[in-house]
Structure 1
Amino acid sequence: MTNLNFRIHTPLLVILLLMGITIESSAQFPTEITKATQSANSPELSEYFNSKIELVLPEKSGVFSKEQAQLVMSSFFKNNPAQSFKIIHQSNRQSSSFAIGKYKTQNNIFRFYFLTKTTEDKTFIHQLRIEQEDD
């Protein structure tokens, strides 16, 4: 009897786990963050910054207040105007999400790595890494 239960329950458990992974990974990265990055709009993007955010950029890195981080991003966007930006990978786990985006300028391509957490129905960026892609 135990062997029969194991044969019935194991496939059911696998199906339920796969359904959970599919449902969890189908959640979308916030479109407002994507749009703010596409338009290189640091004030709009900073609306989603946590009160303290870790920024890692090619020219500057550290943990910044929301206001300081907006200035850092404003400088980055000014020096690297966007031609295009799109999310190329994303993953969600409970209240956290991770996304990788490709940010193209006239002369460079950058990868943006976002780590966000959602609390009380509001998503906050806790970490943003920007790395220049090598050709």
Structure 2
Amino acid sequence: MRAAVVALTVLFIGADTADLEYEVQLRKDFEEFQEKAEALAADKGVTSPDRLIPVLMNRRSLWINGAGTGFFERLNSGHWIEKVPDGVPNLFLESSRTEAYVALGRVDRTKTRVRLYDAKCDVMLNGKGEFKTFYKGSWER
């Protein structure tokens, strides 16, 4: 027992407890999302993750980039999915909403942040630096 306590203490030395709890919660949310998506895909025979979870939300639930090659769509529980041309979807969690934009944080260790405005999408990569415009686009609903 003492060895286990010592091992855990060494493991968490220098770790920020709040960051660790945040990472654990994000992992749980992502695993729950994956389970629901797989269950819906099996049930409905849908193979595309884009629209597996039907959502009836208020305005600003679908943002499409101007080139028409990708979009951000709101799912249940404050989650968003980004569909990009390479076909690999990215999962985000809504962190706030203002009149100007919807703020999202990527559900992984990259700490990438996104702000979806009426006419553009600003991104802060790895949680560092300033937001930069990545896409022009608009809200479809």
* TM-score normalised to structure 2 length: 0.29
Between 1 and 2, higher relative CO (CA 8 Å, sep ≥ 6) is seen in 1
Higher Cα radius of gyration: 1
Question: More strand by proportion, 1 or 2?
Answer: 1
| TM-score (normalizing by structure 1) | 0.30
